[in-house]
Amino acid sequence: MQHNVIDTKDVVIRFCGDSGDGMQLTGTLFADASALYGNEISTFPDYPAEIRAPHGTVSGVSGFQVHVGSVEVNTPGDYADVLVAMNPAALRANAKWAKATATIIIDTDTFTEELIKRAGYATLDPITELRIEDRNIIYSPITTLTKESLKDSGMDQKSIVRCKNMFTLGMCFFMFNRPLEYTYAYLEKKFKKKPDLIAPNKKVLFDGFNYASNIQAVANTYTIKPAKQEKGLYRNISGNQATAWGLIAASEKSGRPLFCGSYPITPATAILEELAIHKNLGVKTLQAEDEIAGICTAIGAAYAGNMAVTTTSGPGLSLKSEALGLAMITELPLVIVDVQRSGPSTGIPTKTEQTDLNQALYGRNGECPIAVIAAHSPSHCFDAAFYAGKFAMEHMMPVILLSEGFLGNGSEPWKIPSMKDYPAINPPIINKCEGPFKPFERDPETFARKWAFPGTPGLEHRVGGLEKNTAGVISSDPENHEKMVAERAEKIARLANYIPQQKVIGPEKADVLIVGWGGTFGHLLSAYNTLSEEGRSVALCHFDFINPLPANTAEIFARYKKIIVCELNSGQFAGYLRAKLPQFKYEQCNKVQGQPFIVEEVVNAVKNIL
């Protein structure tokens, strides 16, 4: 067989196996090595809810997709150039993601009659059954080779077999011409406390690399040149980590210590875990007894003068609804992060969606509007969290930050910013006042009230869920209630004067304006690029600020013949826009499958209305 070295701009690799096979780690290490090599990357973990689902079944398949490029990479990619399938179930669940030209690596040791049957095949010939005979399939006895590689390591059989992901990673490193050093360094750090494991893991990685270079079967190796990136210092960052760091950054800028009260929930937990590490920066984390205590401890902390945060996912946001109303009526600063997942109820907890938008906008009793901001990429979570904190504190209001499982778990290289490039955060803290303190007296510009911390002499005041007047005295006066309702809404409307103007990518006028929000940005941008390369008259308008909408939104919409709102729900943003800006007609492109868009789905939807 001829050995081809393929020089390519970008490649998508999908690692999949049993949820215990270490595919998330394999994928992460491959992505990190590629990022360090200078490639653009985007990653997407696709894993089951069960930690260890039944071995060898389709429901237990865990996947991790990496898109590596020498050019701009906006998404984790739709279809894979290389598919690594560690067992028959993984192959069955993922064959549909392999391109017609794909290389597929399979561990032949796992293709036993028993495991083929357990994976639910009708026959004992998975390759024919899946109609993938014409792909470039590399049949490797990975389990056997791993055992052979580590037979003198002194490790027990079970531990040896668990290293087969490292063998596979070694094979991929050969195919993609990645240096091993980064992963060596990682292994040294990971097994610092178990030094006996360092050498065997390095050996099996190296043996995998050599095996791939020796066998004739690996017909293609790929060279992906480093991307032409802007000069500077880079790091790889996931959305959840970026969210946590953005919150810490806002705390530092405001001088208000960060308090996070949260309850573990997939896929948001990593934010709490990340914050818990940074006690050195004064971060206090309280793992609460439930979601309600999460937000309520945060509200207490906000009253006491901390930058308060609670992090959650959809079902947790439901539980926090009543307390969110309390934060709103007491006009305390609070950031609520919702890393959205597939719903309703428990739904498909590990899968991504944008289905909490209506809940974020409307999910409370009474007239209770709340500011809503959305993050659009893993690294953008940093800025989104920073500005959520800034607006919450400067405008004295709760702010919901919508992230998504796709963003939270996804990662990308990020040019490290400098804190001096971020704006100051100046909460309206009051230390003394002439005459009696009126807690709900407002700033004439922002409509924000003052923040008076307990412990400040002379500013003793009471807040609470009961309607109050400006002086902070309970009032059930009808006119006062209506006035307070209007003022609280006006405060949010006025936030539009402080958020950036909405931008458009593409021509100022066109036939179709693609509209999106949140984590679909990469896919919509790729769709826009594809369409404009084909000479279509399109532009892209992607929203980070949902409530309030940027002030120039209507002016933008008026310039385009058609508007298509693309989102991972049944049309929640489209419905919101219809209510806010009813003068325009909105076409829709929706998907509610717990999966991100595929670029061509968006491309086709736009072509349909062109």
Residue placing its CB nearer to other proteins in the complex, 17 or 239:
239
Based on CB atoms, which residue is closest to other proteins, 104 or 327? 327
For residue 577, the 8-state DSSP code is: H
Rounded distance, CA 528 to CA 531, Å?
A: 5
Q: Is 56 helix (H, G, I), strand (E, B) or coil?
A: coil
The smaller minimum CB distance to other proteins, of residues 473 and 592, is found at 473
Q: Which stretch binds other proteins (CB under 8 A): 11-19, 340-348, 462-470, 589-597?
A: 462-470
Q: Which residue, 321 or 537, has its beta carbon nearer to other proteins?
A: 321
DSSP character for 420? G
User: For residue 581, what is the DSSP state?
Assistant: -
3-state DSSP of 249-317: HHHHHHCCCEEEEECCCCCCHHHHHHHHHHHHHCCEEEECCCHHHHHHHHHHHHHCCCEEEEEECHHHH
Q: Does 424 bind other proteins (CB under 8 A)?
A: no
State the pairing for strand pair 61-69/307-312.
unpaired
Beta carbon of residue 329, minimum distance to other proteins (angstroms, whole number): 10
Task: Quote the CA–CA distance of 524 and 506 in Å, as a whole number.
Answer: 12
How many angstroms separate the CA atoms of 542 and 565, rounded? 10
Instruction: Check binding of 476 to other proteins (CB under 8 A).
Output: no
280 binds other proteins (CB under 8 A): yes
CB 465, min distance to other proteins, A: 5
Nearest approach, Cβ of residue 187 and other proteins (Å): 13
Closer by beta carbon to other proteins, 204 or else 327: 327
**Is 304 a binder of other proteins (CB under 8 A)?**
yes
Q: CA 51 to CA 284: how far, in whole Å?
A: 29
Q: Which long-range contacts (CB under 8 A, 24 or more apart) does 277-286 make?
A: 278/244, 278/248, 281/248, 281/251, 281/252, 282/251, 282/257, 282/258, 283/248, 283/251, 283/257, 283/258, 284/257, 284/258, 284/259, 284/260, 285/259, 285/260, 285/261, 286/259, 286/260, 286/261, 286/262
Instruction: Return the residues of window 243-272 that contact other proteins according to CB under 8 A.
Output: 245, 248-249, 252, 257, 259, 261
Spatial CA neighbour of 365 closest among 335, 323, 393, 304: 323
**Cβ proximity to other proteins, 129 vs 273, nearer residue:** 273
**3-state SS, residue 195:** helix
Check binding of 298 to other proteins (CB under 8 A): yes
Site size toward other proteins (CB under 8 A) is 69
Task: Please identify which residue in 20, 264, 300, 428 interacts with other proteins, judged by CB under 8 A.
Answer: 300
x-or-dash string of contact with other proteins, 118-137, rule CB under 8 A:
--------------------
DSSP 3-state assignment of 512?
A: strand
Residue 503 within binding range of other proteins, rule CB under 8 A: no
The answer to the question of residue 370 lying near other proteins (CB under 8 A) is no
Supply the minimum distance, in Å, between the C-beta of residue 284 and other proteins.
Answer: 6
Cα-based distances in Å from 4 to 1, 352, 534: 9, 37, 30
Kindly tell me which of 261 and 522 has the beta carbon lying closer to other proteins. Answer: 261
- Residue 190 in the binding site for other proteins (CB under 8 A): no
The interface mask with other proteins, positions 160-189, x = CB under 8 A, is: ----------------------x-------
Does residue 474 touch other proteins according to CB under 8 A? yes
Tell me how far the alpha carbon of residue 565 is from its chain's centroid.
20
Tokens of 546: 């949902």
459 touches other proteins (CB under 8 A):
yes
Is 284 a binder of other proteins (CB under 8 A)?
Answer: yes
Token couple for 583: 């003068």
Q: Does 432 bind other proteins (CB under 8 A)?
A: no
| Amino acid symbol at 433 | C
CA distance 92 to 122: 11
One DSSP character per residue, 516-570 reads EEGGGHHHHHHHHHHHHHTT--EEEEEESEEESPPTTHHHHHTTEEEEEEEESSS
| Contact map string, positions 306 to 345, toward other proteins, x by CB under 8 A | x-x-------------xx-xx---x---------------
Residues 37-66 that bind other proteins (CB under 8 A): 38
At closest approach, how far in Å is the CB of 307 from other proteins? 10
In whole angstroms, the minimum distance from the beta carbon of 72 to other proteins comes to 14
> Residue 238: how many CB atoms within 10 A of its CB?
23
- Which of 106, 81, 101, 108 lies closest to 176, judged by CA? 81
Using rule CB under 8 A, residue 460 touches other proteins: yes
Q: What is the DSSP annotation of 3-42?
A: -EEEE-SEEEEEEEEETTS-HHHHHHHHHHHHHHHT-EEE
Q: Does 303 bind other proteins (CB under 8 A)?
A: yes
Pick between residue 21 and residue 252 the one whose CB is nearest to other proteins. 252
Note whether 471 binds other proteins by CB under 8 A: no
Considering only the stretches 356-364, 412-420, 545-553, 594-602, report the one whose residues sit in contact with other proteins under the rule CB under 8 A. Answer: 412-420
**Nearest distance in Å: CB 493, other proteins:** 26
Distance CA 566, CA 596 (A): 11
Nearer to other proteins, 282 or 347 (CB): 282
Per rule CB under 8 A, is residue 154 in the interface with other proteins?
no
> Segment contacting other proteins (CB under 8 A): 367-375, 414-422, 500-508, 583-591?
414-422
Does position 292 bind other proteins by CB under 8 A?
A: yes
Nearest to 372 by CA among 390, 360, 385, 386: 360
Structural element, H or E, at residue 513: strand 510-517
Site string for other proteins, 436-455 (x = CB under 8 A): -----------------xxx
Binder of other proteins out of 236, 352, 354, 379 (CB under 8 A): 236
Per CB under 8 A, 293 contacts other proteins: yes
Q: Is residue 36 near other proteins by the rule CB under 8 A?
A: yes
Q: Site residues (CB under 8 A) for other proteins?
A: 32, 35-36, 38, 182, 229-236, 245, 248-249, 252, 257, 259, 261, 278-282, 284, 286, 288-290, 292-293, 296-306, 308, 322-323, 325-326, 330, 416-419, 453-466, 473-474
